[in-house]
Chains A and B, each alone.
Chain A
């Protein structure tokens, strides 16, 4: 492992260096998401979540290929039709917020292959793209099966002490650690 790789693998720099780079302390970020949860519970009665709306958008996209009638006839999309509702607007806001934050701290940049991936699997863009597509497909399918993702289940349900939230948190973490161990074994 090269010196650069070793530094990459080490934990984050000191809090002062972090702040200088325009990044915030992870506890502060977590507290911010917690306070945001208070606001959405009180004001809009809609906990933070991503994939319910994401599946609605996918229905809208599927309609372009197979037609609206076929999509409307589907049992899942009949329950979750594509519309510009709270959830889908929240998705647009999430993407815009990340973009604006990166713009404000000057961290917008094109990245085809991240460094930890490249160290293990090489610099091939096609290879990274292929696996990113497969991984993305898996997490979305899995999120719908579990009725929520890291946000909707892992945070919004766990914070209510819901069994579904903590079960998701524990199973996804255990399986993620095991998979990463298999992928990066010996590194």
Chain B
């Protein structure tokens, strides 16, 4: 199903990765302080980056799918796994100060503690592989909704959801900017 030959995709992978890593580094999100201060609700850089990526990426991909230039790549909403995984992930992210992508990229910029976290990630993956057999019969078997979207849940067409998302995101960004301007003058 590759729009370009698999060999070409292979050749493009490091280039796309390069762009991703470059953007993360320029965006200050490889700084432990920036990520942890996001979780402490003192610095909203991470939310600005992620939400903008979702809005811009989402609207573009939606249009591209309508044009027949791309197709969806939805994953199962395996609610047991994703809720437990998401809750556990937040704990780990607060402790480590990174998510997997930013941790890997931060390690490449000389942050030795981020590199130690990458070694931890390898250990975590090995632990998961050994726990997989058990998880498959328990947590991963609970409440799998399949490849559902918010459109399936709400009954609204996708374009309405993207419009709502864009408006909500703009409102959130306006509130953050106002709050930051207030802090700058107060500080």
Physical interaction between A and B: yes
Residues of A within 8 A of B (CB): 6-12, 14, 22-24, 26-27, 29-48, 50-51, 54-55, 57-59, 61-62, 74-77, 85-87, 89-102, 105, 107-117, 125, 128-129, 131-151, 153-164, 166-181, 183-184
Given A75-B133, A76-B128: A131 and B28 interface contact (C-beta under 8 Å): no
| Bound: A116/B71 CA distance, A | 43
Interface pair B117/A132, CB less than 8 Å apart:
yes
Interface pair A136/B103, CB less than 8 Å apart:
yes
Given A111-B113, A117-B32, A147-B78: A135 and B86 interface contact (C-beta under 8 Å): no
| Bound: A110/B180 CA distance, A | 30
Interface pair A44/B2, CB less than 8 Å apart:
yes
> Out of B19, B20, B51, which one reaches A30, CB within 8 Å?
B51
Interface pair B90/A177, CB less than 8 Å apart:
yes
| Bound: A169/B130 CA distance, A | 26
> Out of A132, A146, A177, which one reaches B86, CB within 8 Å?
A146
> Out of B26, B76, B88, which one reaches A22, CB within 8 Å?
B26
Contacting residues, chain A, for B126 (C-beta < 8 A):
58-59, 61-62
How far apart are B129's CB and chain A's nearest CB, in angstroms?
4
Interface pair B90/A42, CB less than 8 Å apart:
no
Given A58-B122, A112-B113, A163-B149: A132 and B96 interface contact (C-beta under 8 Å): yes
Interface pair A134/B81, CB less than 8 Å apart:
no
> Out of B45, B93, B112, which one reaches A12, CB within 8 Å?
B45
What are some 18 contacts across the A-B interface (CB < 8 A)? A24-B23, A29-B52, A42-B69, A59-B129, A90-B17, A90-B20, A94-B17, A109-B110, A134-B95, A141-B92, A142-B92, A144-B125, A153-B75, A156-B73, A162-B150, A172-B86, A172-B87, A172-B89
Contacting residues, chain A, for B108 (C-beta < 8 A):
95-96, 98-99, 102
> Out of A29, A95, A163, which one reaches B145, CB within 8 Å?
A163
| Bound: A175/B148 CA distance, A | 24
> Out of A27, A46, A172, A180, which one reaches B36, CB within 8 Å?
A180
Interface pair B73/A35, CB less than 8 Å apart:
no
Given A96-B17, A149-B99, A172-B87: A181 and B40 interface contact (C-beta under 8 Å): yes
> Out of B51, B128, B148, which one reaches A55, CB within 8 Å?
B128
Interface pair A108/B60, CB less than 8 Å apart:
no
| Bound: A101/B123 CA distance, A | 28
> Out of A26, A42, A116, A181, which one reaches B64, CB within 8 Å?
A42
Interface pair B27/A134, CB less than 8 Å apart:
no
| Bound: A33/B26 CA distance, A | 12
Interface pair B30/A98, CB less than 8 Å apart:
yes
Interface pair B95/A179, CB less than 8 Å apart:
yes
Interface pair A99/B113, CB less than 8 Å apart:
no
Interface pair B17/A140, CB less than 8 Å apart:
no
Interface pair A155/B149, CB less than 8 Å apart:
no
Contacting residues, chain B, for A172 (C-beta < 8 A):
86-87, 89-90, 93
Q: Which of B51-72 contact A (CB under 8 A)?
A: 51-58, 60-61, 64, 69-72
Interface pair A141/B125, CB less than 8 Å apart:
yes
